[in-house]
Structure 1
């Protein structure tokens, strides 16, 4: 496979020199078999490649002793003996059903070097990362879902002795929690363990449709919708899109909470508050006609399904609520908060079973539309146990923004303030309107701290 040529960051932050990409196969013998993904894994909305970055500091005990690329490469090979489906390839069978062909071909691996210290990166580590293309392996074809490596990994050594672990995950085979489990297993093996403390469990049949499938709940996410192709084309054109991220610390959250009626203040979580606020501001920014229906898709981890410890497939479903755009934009924030609460309350075990059944009956339709905003909360993932010998990463998260979905990311600023970062991707003019609407929502004034050459923005209430 040809390596893409090294290119300096368009932001001037770092230039990376890559070695030739290679495939890492399991370090021992593994079964050659077909393993079927669950009906939940095969959802259309999961058929994409998820980019993640983990940033590791220098460890004095490892300095001059070990090469992080060599250590990570060896640990991944050992972990693949247990997680051998990850070394295979996705195939598509009848009825759009996905299977993993456990070929043992391996995952894609690249080692690289960057002449920069971790400390120099500062808050540019938070998503959307402006130097993503430099630290993330993107060999031609590796972003496809069918017939390509399920994981692509790049280890970028830094001048200070630390390194960046860049990962591209085929989301159909695992979610971010499953990836965390795999990385923790590899890290344990790197530190000398003979067997991972948590062994992987496949058992994807647990989340298959019932026989016969039966829809018992309302699922607007599977409604037949007329898509505005013009708007969809605009949202899909990367040249037209602005990438920003917004930091919400305790002061921002407190400011937004002042917008709520008294009876909702103590009953509303930070997730509910931010989701309602962002949905409203995004709808205002897109200037959707008042009578048009807009949708909020909350990605929620499924409860009570008997999923065993060690399971690393997707366990999330979508809970969707609707509103007329005009009503959402002009109503008090409490209206949107109540809708978010409604979405969360819908998700029971029966809802999940009905969701899976509906997806099979409907032929696994796509969920994302131009008038839909999806939110995924990854603040509780945590990569604290992914210690390959250099200690835990100073930050690890989804690394990019997407047109239809925002991932909530736990983040600590270089000033030590903890909060949530939300990456956002919108057309440039809509992004300007979004920032204005959000500033009004926070209400106490704003100050913008730009990082990554303007690709990240902090909405900050005045002190």
Structure 2
């Protein structure tokens, strides 16, 4: 593959944006599900916007609009203007003190249409998404030569999961357009995730999660393995996803598109680069907001707007030899069962109770322990509710949006998201071992196509042509 254009983003100014209405200082504890995420783990998202006529006719610049609306929306999402501190037990918690969001304004001498999303380490990391140094949330607006711009955001994953970030992005965009009734009013009531009394947990919690104190050994291991993993962004066409689903479904046993993609990846990677004697663990991310309380319970409606982490990451493992021998339908059955077992109130409260039993020890999902001498692990998350097309601040919807997860060099990570350019297509961010990524690029190119500018620009040309007809 040809490498993308090499460019730099020059930071023109840096500011700190605080909530417009100064809130009172308060401490907000992390829930037991927040505590499952390592400290300092971050997740980024970015959105690309073409130059729009409303921008040039408005006296305010893009940066002005974003900063002013950010200050307003931080009144509701005050946790993003706070900081993570330690409580008396040495555990992390949020100090909501309105220290503010780091906000940078940058310029890149590049046409938006030249931006190659297939190599995010070259075009995104350190250029279009900011790093977090002190804040819980950092924002960067990068102007492009063509008049378009990129909005990049990085947040502390221990504070918010992707669902919470999606709530924030949508609320921020609605605030910028002065929409009176926002789609989400965040709920921070931690008692919704209180452990049971008496607490109890099943064996799955012991199998899927692990106490670690401290994490230094894991970090050193990451450093020694640095450089072995690669990041790429692909797109998968709708008809290909439908074909995978048909291949993974047997008889009346319906499998979702997500389950089918996970099953395909697990089997493909095992067949391509796996050693028959090693194990291969696959982990999935399950959101618990609709799982914890029965419909009709007032707590169920509150969970819909809950801000924080409500994610479980169960995993399954099999030997590479077993995966090679299993038909895709059987692999999909395994993924389906894994998901079903983790979508019950008992599962989530069992995990909550397990963390409570281990506190104040640090705990993490076992998949974050990464590669061992026995095999490897890949987490397949889901960004299918990523509302890219709805993140419109008043100058039109983004032409592209994606998450970017700078994982360490110990675990594989895959995040499928909907394409904003063509309905039914998916965008898939991947962080995999070098030999796994090489196999994807070499032998699965009919499924995962590099997200070069031609994909987005071709659709842009088509949309302009249709508009002129």
Give the shorter-chain TM-score range: 0.7 to 0.9
Q: CA deviation at 1:150?
A: 0.5
1:54 aligns with 2:51: no
Deviation at 1:177, TM superposition (A): 1.9
Report the Cα offset of residue 59 of structure 1: 1.8
Q: Alpha-carbon deviations, 1:139-163, whole Å to 9, x = none?
A: xxx25xxxx2010000112233321
- Distance in 2 (alpha carbons) for counterparts of 1:353 and 1:446: 38
Q: Secondary structure at the match of 1:161?
A: coil
**Aligned equivalent of 2:327, options 332, 338, 341:** 332
Structure 1 length-normalised TM: 0.82
TM-score (norm 2): 0.81
Alignment partner of 1:366: what SS? Answer: strand
Aligned to 2:462: none
Q: CA RMSD in A?
A: 3.2
Contact (CA 8 Å) 1:217, 1:354: kept in 2 or not? no
Instruction: Provide the secondary structure at the position in 2 that maps to 1:134.
Output: coil
Superposed displacement of residue 396, structure 1: 2.1
Does the Cα contact within 8 Å between 1:88 and 1:149 map onto a contact in 2? yes
Aligned equivalents of 2:63 and 2:452: distance in 1? 28
1:271-296 Cα shifts (integer Å, max 9, x gaps): 11110111122334453452x43322
For residue 166 of structure 2, give the secondary structure of its aligned residue in structure 1. Answer: helix
- SS of match in other structure, 2:139: strand
Alignment map for 1:16-55 (pairs within 5 Å):
16-44=9-37, 48-55=41-48
Match of 2:110 in 1: 116
Structure 1 segment 280-429 matched on structure 2, within 5 A:
280-290=267-277, 292-302=278-288, 303-305=291-293, 306-307=299-300, 308=302, 309-346=304-341, 347-362=343-358, 363-367=361-365, 368=368, 369-370=370-371, 371-400=376-405, 402=407, 403-412=411-420, 416=422, 418-429=424-435
Give the aligned partner of residue 7 of structure 1.
none
- TM superposition shift of 1:84: 1.4
**SS across alignment from 1:311:** coil
Tell me how far apart the structure 2 counterparts of residues 449 and 329 of structure 1 sit (CA, whole Å): 26
Contact 1:328 1:335 in 2 (8 A): no
User: 1:217: how far off?
Assistant: 5.3
Q: Distance in 2 between matches of 1:405 and 1:151?
A: 22
Aligned match of 2:228 in 218, 228, 240? Answer: 240
Going from structure 1 to structure 2, the CA distance change for 1:180 and 1:336 (only over 3 Å counts) comes to same
Shift of 1:263: 2.0
Matched-pair contact (CA < 8 Å) for 1:378–1:409: yes
Partner in structure 2 of residue 181 of structure 1: 167
1:17-57 superposed Cα distances (whole Å, 9 cap, x missing partner): 21232211111220111111211112135851001101122
Distance 1:61 1:222, change over 3 A: closer
Instruction: State the distance in 1 between where 2:79 and 2:448 align.
Output: 48
User: Residues 429 and 200 of structure 1: is their aligned pair in 2 closer, same or farther, counting only changes over 3 Å?
Assistant: closer
State how far apart, in whole Å, the 2-side matches of 1:31 and 1:448 are: 50
Is the 8 Å Cα contact of residues 173 and 313 (structure 1) preserved in structure 2?
Answer: yes
Displacement of 1:194: 6.0
Taking the aligned partners of 2:283 and 2:425, their CA distance within structure 1 comes to 23
- Count of paired positions: 424
Does residue 208 of structure 2 align to residue 221 of structure 1?
yes
Gaps of 5+ in 2: 294-298, 455-469
- 2:123 maps to which residue? 131
Structure 1, unaligned stretches of length 5 or more?
Answer: 1-9, 440-444, 454-463
Is the alpha carbon distance of 1:64 and 1:366 closer, same or farther for their aligned partners in structure 2, counting shifts above 3 Å?
A: same
The CA distance in 1 between the partners of 2:105 and 2:111, in whole Å, is: 17
CA distance 1:246–1:447, shift in 2 (3 Å): closer
